[in-house]
A and B are shown apart, each in its own frame.
Chain A
Amino acid sequence: MPILEIKNLEVRFPMRGGELIAIRDISFSIDRGERLGIVGESGAGKSVAAFAILRLIGRPGYISGGQILFEGNDLARLSPEQLRQFRGNQITMIFQDPMMTLNPVLTIGTQMIECLQTHRGMGRKQARKVAVEKLRRVAIPSPEARIDQYPHELSGGMRQRVVIAIALLTDPAIIIADEPTTALDVTIQAEIMELLLALCETHQVALILITHDLGVVSEITQRAIVMYAGRIVEEGPTRDIIERARHPYTHGLIDALPERTHPGQRLNQIPGSMPSLVDIPPGCAFHPRCEHVTDLCQTRVPGYTLLDHARVACHWVAAQEQS
């Protein structure tokens, strides 16, 4: 049984002259200990989806439909008090900017100890011991000393490791990481990713990793979801997505990477750019940029074609599968 199941999730932002639908018809699930990647270009709706799962969409935005089932409880319908039992406890989130999580005027220790006191009802002394233990687990050198430092006294990479340590305090079942290493250098990114990977493997934590870096997705995740203009256009095992993507957008995206062309040669490019959500093209949102476009694509939104362990929202793929 999946630990988290998202069904037809939709988020809207009221705007002057109408509502903007930021994500629609988002459905997927994740098992205990599984690592799922969500990829897509800027504005595709990755962060909105992640925030919606934790019910963190700020007003006036709201969840306008769907279910968020965590072990059978629909988080979309819980009261704020009930929600607290899950959010920041069973499900935690790591943001791109560690300072979203860290309070600049408190020492790391104070923040960690407070968290353990609220969520675990621990005494100070024990909480401190656990905090030091978690800092050690994320490879912070001399954690007994570091715990009394303020966030600004740490480097960017160390801060992100502290955020991961905080996320681990409550032994969560799911970590949602939204571009956790985008602001970091590659050598530090590699360390953080190895750390997350090890945690998932040893503690059976499920990881939802949001990124636009296909290399990271390739190295870390087992399954991947590709988003375009607010919808999931393809889902499948990561290896398959990278090596034989079916959706023309996914295919184009991977083909556009410099690694896919001999040095010095012209890169493959997808014409045009992603539409803004206020004027999403009718039918398949990708159709103005697609080389396989037909009349059907311009009028009807493609449903999902189910393949072995995968699904693709594309009329062209559907037609290929039928013949």
Chain B
Amino acid sequence: MKSIPLEARLIAAAIYFIAAPFIGGLLSGVDRVISARMQGRKGPSIFQGFYDIVKLLSKQRNCVNKIQVMYLGSFLFFIIFTGALFFAGCDLLMIFFSLTTANIFLAVAAASTNSPYATMGAQRELLQMLAYEPMTLLTAVGFYVATGTFKSAEMLTQIDLPAIVSLPGVFVGFLFILVIKLRKHPYDLSTSHHAHQEVVKGISTEFSGPVYALMELSHWYENVFLMGIVSMFFINNNPWSILWSIAASVIVYLVMILVDNTNARMKWDNMLKNTWIATMVLGALNIFILHIFK
């Protein structure tokens, strides 16, 4: 059994740490340009995300309370930790637990301000977590049943067939929760990229200037990590598979933009119902069948 040396895994994590903000920022720019084109507009430059961050960082520092910055800092830290674990090839269960911890910090940061809109956003964020958590766990379990390991590095070296072949249901289920995680319509309940109004902007209401930049930055890190999970479905022990798995995650991202622009926001109970049904039918059934026929 081949395995990837520790140095290579550490380097992959370091590359993630340095490159993810740039990739994430570009992805957000591409998202805005394509969305604008879909609506018949020209749209901003694809570097708009970077312009926004630079501006936010140079604005006046206005914090509602001191602890808020610490919570948001922890959010950023745990998101980077999650992504670094993933790209270093660690245990998928550990990775998803770390992701949950990060998001709890975000909700707490918003709730700590006591502002009605931010608190509502925090509650909606918790509802979103309730909706997507089962599927993230099933994704980890699915990878285990299909490949015999929880470690993302070992999956890379051991499997001949990409996981998508045995886990199509889990993949589609994961796309469902990806909509929530990327904060896209119809499930962008806690905060949205469009229509920057009160309830819609929810969780980020009380973050301003540099503090808000922190949240955006974490979001970019998170997006790159999620795209990494998407490519896990397409990777096998052939080194060239990295190329087509990246291509696949780009296509998935474009599909997400399309979904974003063709759907209206749903109520939280619809989100919960739909994602749980998808989790049960697509995720659980897929793993069950796989387990029986293995």
Q: Do the two chains bind?
A: no
